[in-house]
Amino acid sequence: MSGKLNRSQPYALGLFRIVVGLLFACHGAASLFGVLGGAHGGGTVETGSWPGWYAAVIQLVGGGLVMLGFGTRSAAFIASGSMAYAYFVEHQADGLFPLENSGESAAIFCWAFLLLVFTGPGALSLEKVFAPRGARGGAAPEGAKEREPAAASA
């Protein structure tokens, strides 16, 4: 059982990344375009307003990049930082714990993105498609010889 789970780990991580990125991008789209219920129950955030508009752009762009698995670690790092800011600056003043200050989603997104910074995109990512053949993390086929560096001519 453990062996099957271990072999499935890159795919589970890839699905986790896709779902978290999609949900994060939806928050940004709601705030910027008023879709999916809009920002804070309706409407949009004012263009250029701090921090709401900037957070929404990070959510939309960062969530989209994470969902696609393109620049995952960098996008996840920025997204995690924005959610840490959201929690400590916007939510924590209303109470210590996330249940007291309505900061559950900020805390969960922060830790989910931080996890992706350290694990990478997993399977099913554009990074795997566009990476150079040797950089995809796959082992060389059995029986393949490693090339020796060519001797420098004197």
What are the backbone dihedrals phi and psi of residue 93, each rounded to the nearest 5 degrees, phi first?
-65, -20
Query: Encoding tokens for residue 45?
Result: 């955030």
For the chain, 154 residues long, give each residue's pLDDT as a single digit of tens: 889 999 999 999 999 999 999 999 999 999 999 888 887 777 888 888 888 899 999 999 999 999 999 999 999 999 999 999 999 998 988 988 898 998 999 999 999 999 999 999 999 999 888 877 766 554 444 444 544 445 554 4
Does the pTM of the predicted model rise above 0.95? Answer: no
The CA distances from residue 2 to 7, 8, 124, in Å, are 9, 10, 22
